[in-house]
Copies of this chain bind each other. A is one copy, B any other.
Amino acid sequence: MTAPTTPPKTAPAAPLVVSADDLVALVSRIFAAAGLAEEAATTVADGLVEADLEGQPSHGVMLVDMYVDRLRAGSLSTAATATVVSDRGPCVVLDAGNAFGHLTGPQSIDIAVARARKQGVGIVAVRHGFHFGTARRYALRAVDQGCIGITMCNTRPLMPAPGGAERLVGNNPVAIAVPTDDAVPLVLDMATSEAAMGKIRLAEKASQPIPATWAVQADGSPTTDARQAIAGMLLPAAGPKGFGLALMIDLFCGLLSGGASGDRVRPLYGDPGIPYDCSHLFMAIDVGHFCELSWFRAQAAAAANRIRDGKRAPGVAELFTPGEPEWRARQNANRTIRLDGAVARSLIKVAEDLHISAAPLRAIADDPSTEKHYAKT
């Protein structure tokens, strides 16, 4: 049965609905074939697919082909762990040696948590790091152990100083998670730019103007034109505030680790032979060293409920706590992912280049009885 509105299965924009478990299995096989140990390959795959489930495809399996390019070119290591550079009480410096942030990230936050459980606080700074996916994952891992979790990393320069006309700091993200009794994790995960480049690209496609706070032209002049913005630079969130935060994150990550900061961090999508070389910082604060964890959790849950139950502006249907949109996306996903057609094809290509089966993507794409898996967007 073929409905006339069903798009052709090879159309570039047609998303495929795939099971998360099948996708984890495929991506695991890809990374294992590219040289990672089996467990490490699964950990990386889990992290990527989780981002897709949370409605964050920019941190999802769309990264696989770039990761594999970098593994092949040697700028990304197949090692599963970072090595200890220095270890002084709650303060630890690690060298990730260009290993996957998806692997050194859990290692780093677990060290921070172990120190925090014993000494109240743990801070782990990581040099020669690589992309670690969403920062929220590591912050939430600390929460599972009764700790406040804080994660940061730097990126190459993307944003000018307020009034500037050249890229000086990355849109360096920070995630902060706190323990709560609420069913929904309470976690802030923010880049320090006012808006994501993806939103500007959407405005360009829709021929819509963008707010003047989102970006500037290449010479630093204001713009509300998405095309000029794409050729220009992202602006920091709330101007000098986001710029100052981004700078502090760059210095925390790059300097405390003795690693790279500023333009010594390279483009993620640049030459795959040149290490990305970002720096990370992980902090855990054991709540029990300050107050009763159960009281803290109850109070945090009450604060979340005050937000959710708060009065709403006209036309607003619901209010969300920080981290709730990602949690809801995950609940609604029901372990299935609507994969962008171009991403699906890139995965098939990577898999076949590595002489492994691209099932289940191929099966879905090839089987004429599976039109139901297609959806229009």
Does the CB pair B89–A310 fall under 8 Å?
no
> Is A16 located at the chain interface by the 8 A CB criterion?
no
Name the distance in Å between A307's Cβ and chain B's nearest Cβ: 5
| Residues on B with beta carbons closer than 8 Å to the beta carbon of A244 | 176, 188, 190, 322
Q: Given that A163-B316, A188-B245, A251-B178 are known contacts, is A290 also in contact with B257, CB under 8 Å in the complex?
A: yes
A165 to B307, CA, bound (A): 10
Q: Given that A90-B120, A91-B120, A220-B312 are known contacts, is A255 also in contact with B161, CB under 8 Å in the complex?
A: no
Task: Considering the complex, give the chain B residue whose CB is closest to the CB of A148.
Answer: B252
Does the CB pair B121–A188 fall under 8 Å?
no
Residue in A188, A251, A287, A299 with the greatest tally of chain B CB atoms within 10 Å: A251
Does the CB pair A166–B219 fall under 8 Å?
no
Question: Interface size (A, Cβ < 8 Å)?
Answer: 74
| Residues on B with beta carbons closer than 8 Å to the beta carbon of A188 | 241, 244-245, 247-248
| Residues on B with beta carbons closer than 8 Å to the beta carbon of A241 | 188, 190, 237-238, 242
A230 to B316, CA, bound (A): 22
Does the CB pair A163–B90 fall under 8 Å?
no
Chain B proximity mask over A307-321: 1 for CB below 8 Å, otherwise 0: 100111110101110
> Is A200 located at the chain interface by the 8 A CB criterion?
no
> Is A258 located at the chain interface by the 8 A CB criterion?
yes
Does the CB pair A91–B289 fall under 8 Å?
yes
| Residues on B with beta carbons closer than 8 Å to the beta carbon of A242 | 237-238, 241
Chain B proximity mask over A269-308: 1 for CB below 8 Å, otherwise 0: 0000000000000000111011100011001100100110
Q: Given that A163-B316, A300-B251, A322-B240 are known contacts, is A256 also in contact with B310, CB under 8 Å in the complex?
A: no
Does the CB pair A303–B166 fall under 8 Å?
no
Does the CB pair A256–B303 fall under 8 Å?
no
Partner of A255, one of B220, B255, B291, B312: B291
> Is A168 located at the chain interface by the 8 A CB criterion?
yes
Does the CB pair A310–B165 fall under 8 Å?
yes
Does the CB pair A123–B121 fall under 8 Å?
yes
| Residues on B with beta carbons closer than 8 Å to the beta carbon of A319 | 161-164
Partner of A221, one of B89, B164, B314: B314
Name the distance in Å between A215's Cβ and chain B's nearest Cβ: 12
User: 6 closest A-B pairs (Cβ-Cβ)?
Assistant: A220-B313, A188-B244, A237-B238, A244-B322, A91-B120, A163-B316
